[in-house]
Amino acid sequence: MHSKISNNLTNDDCRLEADIFAACPLIPAIVQDYHTGRVLMLAYVNQESYNFMQEKGETCFWSRSRQELWHKGATSGNVQKIRHMAFDCDRDTLLIQVEQAGGGACHTGSFSCFGEEAGAFHVVEKDYAVISHRSVNPKANSYTNYLLEKGVDKICKKIGEEAAEVIIAAKNKNPVELTAEVADLAYHMLVLMQTQGLAPKDILAEIANRQRISV
């Protein structure tokens, strides 16, 4: 059963959600990154915190240790903007897809309470993180720092060269060569993105937006 992020619920919506919490006053909520699908945290929701989320559009949970509402990020600034919520088929677990602000979801400072991501997208995020780190902590003989120091013109020139090599590899029908050249192009694109203040999640958000438009 899908839930709207709105305070304009129909009578049927309100009755159905009231029934859920009447049967199970405290339900687990899985919080997931809207763009990457990465699991960020697990918390618990009651009727009061659920109503808060419907009204405010930000995550709010019930703290079992403090026995009070917990508006995520209210003090740290690491708020979670809700993009979608849905109950599972048994209506006893809530999935919340969010855009995570600030440093991350975990109180330890990590982006996720479950540690480093192990999925394929993590490779891209990690590469981008290294590039960002190099931009503020230069390393001797670093090719990344060489590109960053030379600036946008040099980076764009390299992107043009790498794009041409991708085309040549494709024309040669050489999958091994093509794989290497696409990886080179992707790296240089990440360097350019870093200089422009763009992150991989921004590109994913645009792709997701286009997919919704085309549906």
CA-nearest of 200, 178, 180 to 130 is: 200
Categorise residue 106: left if φ over 0, alpha if ψ from -120 to 50, beta otherwise. Answer: beta
Kindly tell me if the per-residue pLDDT of 6 is higher than 50: no
Strands (E), the chain: 2-3, 27-33, 39-45, 60-63, 68-71, 80-87, 94-100
Domains and CATH numbers, the chain: 2-100 (3.10.20.810), 120-214 (1.10.287.1080)
- pLDDT tens digits along 180-197: 999 999 999 999 999 999
Residue 120's pLDDT band, with cuts at 50, 70 and 90, is: low
- pLDDT tens digits along 13-58: 445 677 889 888 999 999 998 877 889 999 999 999 999 999 999 9
| pLDDT for 204 | 81
| pLDDT for 136 | 94
Tell me the mean pLDDT in the region 51-72.
95
Between 214 and 210, the more confident residue is 210
